[in-house]
Structure 1
Amino acid sequence: MKKSILITGCSSGIGYAAAHFLHNNGYEVFATARKADDVKTLREEGFNAFQLDVTDTASIDSALAAVLEQTGGTLYALFNNAGYGQPGALEDVPAEALREQFETNVIGLHEMTRRIIPVMRQQGYGRIIQHSSVLGLISLRFRGAYNASKYAIEGLCDTLRLELDDTDIHVVTLNTGPIHSRFRDNATEKFLHYVDIDKSCFAKEYHEEVLARKAKKSENDPFTKEPIEVIRKVVLALEKPQPKPRYYITAATHLLGTFKRLLPTSWLDKILLKV
């Protein structure tokens, strides 16, 4: 019998690549995306796909009902992958932007998780894979909203592991570093929407760092890897009898995660100011 997995955020990037890989390797994949056009594309590619906006309770209700109807009320795994980044210095990021960042990255993840836990408790097993980031371990300038959302995910995951310790439901955190995807393009759209660049005291840095980074797209950046690096860890989270509680992905995460554990805060700050 195929193992079933529901993946959020499959319109592109890691979610899209993971859905294809798992589908091609024997999993019953339920691929979801926020936009109807993306769902249509996924269906044309042979996926069992549903529209799911993690910030909309009615959308979650509808998608989960459809998935569970097809599986007979069971689900082996949930991969909470949906999310985006909101760049900008914290003093330039309005409360509305921070609220929107948390609605998707944190509240949506939490709602999906708490809705699926009773299903997994009933069946007696399950895997919940939560997509965090290296920026859930360390902080960078102009990433404050995203940092805060990923730090929040870390707290949710650490607590869930304790609360589910007496079950066969495994919570796995992925601390992913830079990956080739549309993440930076999407983040730049949010940045331009919410941040008034020319009125900021960081205008020069925004043009030289945030916008220039989008133009570069990291083709030659040795630290930026392909989605397969994430997928390999997803497979371990799904198939190991006792998966690790967290997986570091990319050299950047290993390096910065080690610095976080070993270095005094003042030393780490000096390093991060150069990143």
Structure 2
Amino acid sequence: MSRFVLITGCSSGIGLAAARALQGAGLTAIASARRPEDVARLKEEGLLAVQLDLDDEASIEAGARAALTLAGGRLYGLFNNGAYGQPGALEDVPTAALRAQFNTNLFGWHHLIRQILPAMLAAGEGRIVQNSSVLGLVAMKYRGAYNASKFALEGYTDTLRLELAGSGVHISLIEPGPIETQFRANARAAFLRHIDPALSRHRADYDLTLARLEKEGPSGRFTLPSEACIPPLLHALTSRRPRHRYPVTFPTRLFAWLRRLLPSRWLDLILGKSA
């Protein structure tokens, strides 16, 4: 019997790579995207696909129902991946922009889990994988809204793991560092939508932020392609004993280690150099 896995944020990047990879790993992906044109493109590629906008509870509910129908009433897995970053110093980020960041990166995921989890619990098995970030482990300047959403996701997932103990449903976190996706382009658009650099005391640093977001190609020498997240995802979905956390890229492993070993003042000196 096919095991169906719903994946959010499949228009590009990690979500698209995951949908393609699952097809050859004995799992059946149900890809989802926010825009109808992206859903149509996914279907043209031969993938099962549904429309699902993480900013809209009605869309989440409709997308979950459509996915459950495609899966014959039960999804074995859910890969919560759709997210974006809102750059800007916290003092410059409007409250509405911070709320929008949480709507997409946390509240939408929570609402989707609540639609899918009852069927998993009734079946006595299931897998939920949450795509977090190195910025769910350590903070960096001008990434506060995204940091806050991912720190919250880490705590949310740890709590849900405790509450699911013994149910047969396992939940894991993937924690990527720099991955080559459309993330920077989307972050740049969010920055320009909500932040006016000319009115900020951080305007000189914002020049560096925009240069980083506008840079073509990999953001640094440790940047990996989206496919780097596929082996941990497959392990989380198929292993008898999935791990609680899967660090991806050298920076994630390094900062997880430094966070445990260094005093906060020393770690701040390192992290404070980020732009």
Which amino acid is 1:97 matched to? Answer: A
RMSD of aligned alpha carbons: 1.1
Deviations along 1:162-184, one digit per CA (max 9) or x if unpaired, are 10112111010111111000000
Question: What is the CA distance between 1:218 and its match in structure 2?
Answer: 4.8
Answer yes or no: is the 8 Å Cα contact 1:218–1:224 preserved in 2: no
Deviations along 1:130-162, one digit per CA (max 9) or x if unpaired, are 111100000000000000000010111010011
Runs of 4+ in 1 over 3 A off after TM superposition: none
Q: Does 1:251 align with 2:250?
A: yes
Write out aligned runs for 1:41-120 (5 A).
Answer: 41-120=41-120
Q: Tell me what 1:219 maps to.
A: 218
TM-score by length of 2: 0.97
Q: Tell me what 2:260 maps to.
A: 261
Structure 1 residue matching 2:26: 3-state secondary structure: coil
Q: Tell me what 2:234 maps to.
A: 235
Structure 2 residue matching 1:30: 3-state secondary structure: strand
Distance 2:172 2:63 in 1: 23
Deviations along 1:238-267, one digit per CA (max 9) or x if unpaired, are 111001011111001000111111111111
Question: What is the CA distance between 1:110 and its match in structure 2?
Answer: 0.8
Answer yes or no: is the 8 Å Cα contact 2:180–2:219 preserved in 1: no
Question: What is the CA distance between 1:220 and its match in structure 2?
Answer: 6.8
Q: Which runs of 5+ in 1 are unaligned?
A: none
* Corresponding residue pairs, total: 274
Q: Tell me what 1:206 maps to.
A: 206
Question: What is the CA distance between 1:49 and its match in structure 2?
Answer: 0.7
Distance 1:93 1:147 in 2: 13
Q: Does 1:29 align with 2:42?
A: no
Distance 1:56 1:82 in 2: 13
Answer yes or no: is the 8 Å Cα contact 1:92–1:200 preserved in 2: yes
Question: What is the CA distance between 1:115 and its match in structure 2?
Answer: 1.7
Distance 2:110 2:123 in 1: 20
Q: Tell me what 2:38 maps to.
A: 38
Give me the identity figure in percent. 49
Structure 2 residue matching 1:252: 3-state secondary structure: helix
Structure 1 residue matching 2:180: 3-state secondary structure: coil
Distance 2:219 2:204 in 1: 24
- Give the stretch that moved more between structures: 114-123 or 86-95: 114-123
Which amino acid is 1:23 matched to? Answer: Q
